[in-house]
Amino acid sequence: MDDLMQFLRDRIDEDESVARAAGGANADGLRWLDHGSGSGLVSDDAGMVVTYDAGVSDQHAAHIAHQDPARALREVEAKRGLLKRYEEPETSAVLPDSSNKLTAGVERTVLLEVFRHLTLPYADHPDYREEWRP
């Protein structure tokens, strides 16, 4: 499963890179806003236009705004937290005192299944393997 884990790490790194490039220096806190009314205008918190296309539907503009850099970076952080938990479950500071090596092993098994699901959005990537599909 090392290949699956590396594949997921690589995709998470790519997601972070794309989000940071789209959000610039303020990517961590940058929210994109949909202005609605069929304008196709999406701007950031500071009022800078992210995209404008009169042909974009309200639904498309809402989707673009919903996938803003700050949200993408929060998803990156969450996925990396799960990867860390998998890599060192028995030493994780967030585990309850009742956890031990046995429960950590069970947790690893569960997390591995979670990671199979987390790779699904990347199933169109050339390095994705069908054997990883849950």
Q: What is the pLDDT of residue 50?
A: 57
Taking the complete model, does pTM exceed 0.85, yes or no? no
The token duo for 39 is: 């304008």
In the three-class reduction of DSSP (H, G, I as helix; E, B as strand; rest coil), residue 55 is classed as coil
**Burial of residue 120, with CB atoms counted within 10 A of its CB: 0-12 exposed, 13-18 middle, 19 or more buried:** exposed
> Which one-letter amino acid corresponds to residue 8?
L
Residues with pLDDT less than 50, the chain: none
Q: What is the pLDDT of residue 33?
A: 58
Q: What is the pLDDT of residue 103?
A: 75
| Domain assignments of the chain as residue spans, ordered by start | 2-18+74-132
Percentage, residues of the chain above pLDDT 90:
35
Beta strands 49-52 and 41-44: pairing type?
A: antiparallel
Q: What is the pLDDT of residue 93?
A: 63
The whole-angstrom separation of Cα 80 and Cα 15 is: 12
The whole-angstrom separation of Cα 86 and Cα 115 is: 10
